[in-house]
Amino acid sequence: MSNPPAADFVDAVRDLLKRAPTPFYAYDLRRLEGRVARYQEAFRGARIFYAIKANPRLRLLERLRSAGLGAETVSLGEVLRAYAAGYMPDQVVLNGPVKPPAALRELARSGVPVLVADSPADLERIARILPGAEVLLRLNPDLPVDTHPHLATGRGDSQFGVLPGDWPGVFARGRELGLEMRGLHLHLGSDLNNPADFAARLEVLERLRARVRFLAVLDLGGGFGLEMDPAKLAPEMFALARRFGAELWIEPGRALVADAGVLVARVWAEKQTRRRYLLLDAGMTALLRPLLYGARHPVVPLYASERTAVYDLAGPACESGDVLAREVELPVPREGDALLFLRAGAYGGAMHLNYLDHPPPGEYAWDGARWEVWRRPGRLPPLWEDEPDQPEYP
């Protein structure tokens, strides 16, 4: 069950609607702080690296850095964004299956984070371009998990990490290459709500322990679904890290920010084909998760009416998949009435698409007293400013 937004936050959104163009994202900072405190409490003694892909707004990163969190990143751009938010290189972990040479060379200039090597080739390239770097080696635990297939990164047929049988040899090779091999990284997947998935990972690591013994770091990644209670998961994770003699690191993204954010959209038409639609100014380019992962975001109307009906909620794209929710019972709206899509604080604004020349939605955070701009609403002309209108040659 999802947590309804706080009543004063909803009132503040109504007020913001008078000034901010829709669609936009709105965040309740008190809820964010509550989630962060819950994870910090459960994982006291571990290092928490916030997965900035979930929501990379600078003002958010600055806030989380001040709260003592590190940053988990997957691209040069994300590392530089974390540095722009004030993070030092040793507070940043760089993941991802592909780290092109040009990106590694840029890191040599701007600061070398902790790198997670994803394959033997990645390890060799890191050693060549960033000699002596601090490295974790990603394990592919070869486990099925209970989530959308696009989010199941720990399956043996996914492209991530090194399989358990190969892992000790590749780790030893990293030492031969002169890298500072600090430990093991494992990320099962995202949006995991079944505790059995987390438990299965422990068995794989326990088997591996016989072959690797001591590690300085055990990074167990993110993936904590919103239904998971961190206090229930933490003790087993700490116990496992202790068995390796390792410090525990984790990389939550969604669990910290999803519930703090809503997408705000307006209804511009009601329409009947063989199904009954409300047509909104937000669709797949503002919130991609329903199309990409079949994600369900609860919907709350910001208007009232005596009659209700069951609607599909479609966006402005010429794509029949541009539907944010199906079969939602709502009061019958008038033109311009607004809706909230809940649990949109993670992988919402972050995944905005410029497809169809839709500029990025504005993003605003509410601290209980006032709104702060996290991202100004995008403007149209800059969307094509990198496109020559005269012949130009590389």
Ligand X SMILES: Cc1ncc(COP(=O)(O)O)c(C=O)c1O
**Which residues form the catalytic set?**
318
Q: How far apart are the C-alpha atoms of 344 and 342, rounded to whole Å? A: 5
Minimal distance, residue 89 CB to ligand X, in Å: 18
From the list 9-17, 205-213, 215-223, 373-381, the region that binds ligand X by CB under 6 A is 215-223
Distances (CA, A) of 352 to 33, 84, 290, 362: 24, 21, 13, 11
For ligand X, give the closer residue by CB, 219 or 322: 219
Rounded CA-CA distance 146/155 in Å is: 11
Amino acid identity at 77? G
Q: Judged by CB under 6 A, does residue 73 bind ligand X?
A: no
Closer CB to ligand X, residue 254 or residue 375? 254
Cα separation, 278 vs 106, in Å, equals 48
CA–CA distance, 124 with 145 (Å, rounded to integer): 30
- Cβ atoms of 47 and 87 closer than 8 Å: no
Q: What angle do CA 180, 124, 81 make, to 5 degrees?
A: 70
* Binding-residue pattern over the window 33 to 52 for ligand X, x denoting contact by CB under 6 A: ------------------x-
CB 125 within 8 A of CB 135: no
Q: Of the ranges 12-20, 251-259, 294-302, 371-379, which one interacts with ligand X (CB under 6 A)?
A: 251-259
Minimum distance from CB of 331 to ligand X (Å)? 33
List 65, 81, 187, 343, residue binding ligand X (CB under 6 A)? 187
Q: Does 95 interact with ligand X (rule: CB under 6 A)? A: yes
C-alpha to C-alpha distances, 171 to 51, 52, 167, nearest whole angstrom: 24, 27, 6
289 near ligand X, rule: CB under 6 A: no
Write the DSSP assignment of 8-40 as a string of letters.
Answer: HHHHHHHHHTTTSPSSEEEEEHHHHHHHHHHHH
The yes or no reply on residue 162 touching ligand X (CB under 6 A) is no
Minimum distance, C-beta of residue 49 to ligand X, in the bound complex (Å): 8
The verdict on 315 binding ligand X (CB under 6 A) reads no
Half-sphere exposure of 298 (CA within 13 A, CB side): 11
Q: Is 99 in the site for ligand X (CB under 6 A)?
A: no
154 binds ligand X (CB under 6 A): no
Q: Which is nearer to ligand X, 141 or 253 (CB)?
A: 253
Q: Would you count residue 301 as binding ligand X (CB under 6 A)?
A: no
Q: Exactly one of 35, 36, 64, 72 binds ligand X (CB under 6 A); which one?
A: 72
Binding residues for ligand X, rule CB under 6 A, total 18
Q: Which residues bind ligand X (CB under 6 A)?
A: 51, 54, 72, 95, 153, 187, 190-191, 221-224, 251-255, 346
